[in-house]
Amino acid sequence: MVTASFTPQPETLRPGIKAPVRETLLTPRFYTTDFEAIAEMVLTLQEDEIEAALQELRNDYNRHHFVRNDDFKRSFDHIEGATRLAFIDFLERSCTSEFSGFLLFKELSRRLKDRSPKLAEAFALLARDEARHAGFINKAMADFGLSLDLSYLTKKRTYTFFPPEWVIYTVYLSEKIGYWRYILMFRHLEKNPDDNIYPLFNYFECWCQDENRHGDFFKALLRSQTKLWKTWQSRLWARFFLLTVFVTHTLTVFERTDFYEAVGLDARQYNIDVVKNTNETAARAFPSVLDTDNPHFFPRLEACSDANEKLTAIANSNTPQWLKFLQKMPWITVIIWQMLLIFLQKPVDAEARRGLVY
Ligand SMILES: [Fe+2]
Ligand SMILES: [Fe+2]
Tens-place pLDDT, residues 192-220? 999 999 999 999 999 999 999 999 999 99
- Residue 5 located in a structural domain: no
User: How far is the centre of ligand 1, averaged over its atoms, from the C-alpha of 211 (Å)?
Assistant: 6
What's the pLDDT at 151? 85
- Residue 137 located in a structural domain: yes
Rg, the chain, Cα only: 21
- Residue 74 located in a structural domain: no
Structural domain boundaries, residue 173:
12-35+43-65+79-357
Total domain count, the chain: 1
Look up residue 317 and give its amino acid.
S
What's the pLDDT at 351? 94
Look up residue 307 and give its amino acid.
A
User: How far is the centre of ligand 2, averaged over its atoms, from the C-alpha of 334 (Å)?
Assistant: 32
How many CA atoms does the CB half-sphere of 354 hold within 13 Å? 15
- Helix, coil or strand: residue 115: coil
Give this prediction's pTM: 0.91
- Residue 1 located in a structural domain: no
Ranges assigned E (strand) in 204-317: 288-289
- Residue 2 located in a structural domain: no
User: How far is the centre of ligand 2, averaged over its atoms, from the C-alpha of 82 (Å)?
Assistant: 29
- Residue 226 located in a structural domain: yes
For residues 271-285, average pLDDT:
98
Q: Which residue has the higher pLDDT, 164 or 13?
A: 164
- Residue 290 located in a structural domain: yes
Looking at residue 158, the DSSP 8-state letter turns out to be P
Cis before 8? omega within 30: yes
Closest C-alpha to 241, from 312, 167, 179: 167
For residues 44-56, average pLDDT:
96
Ligand 2 ion local residues (Cβ < 5 A): 175, 211, 214
Look up residue 354 and give its amino acid.
R
Out of 149-153, 172-176, 200-204, 349-353, least confident range: 149-153
- Residue 6 located in a structural domain: no
For residue 49, the domain's CATH number is 1.10.620
Ligand nearest to the CA of 94: 1
User: How far is the centre of ligand 1, averaged over its atoms, from the C-alpha of 273 (Å)?
Assistant: 20
Q: Is residue 88 within 8 Å of residue 21, measured between CB atoms?
A: no
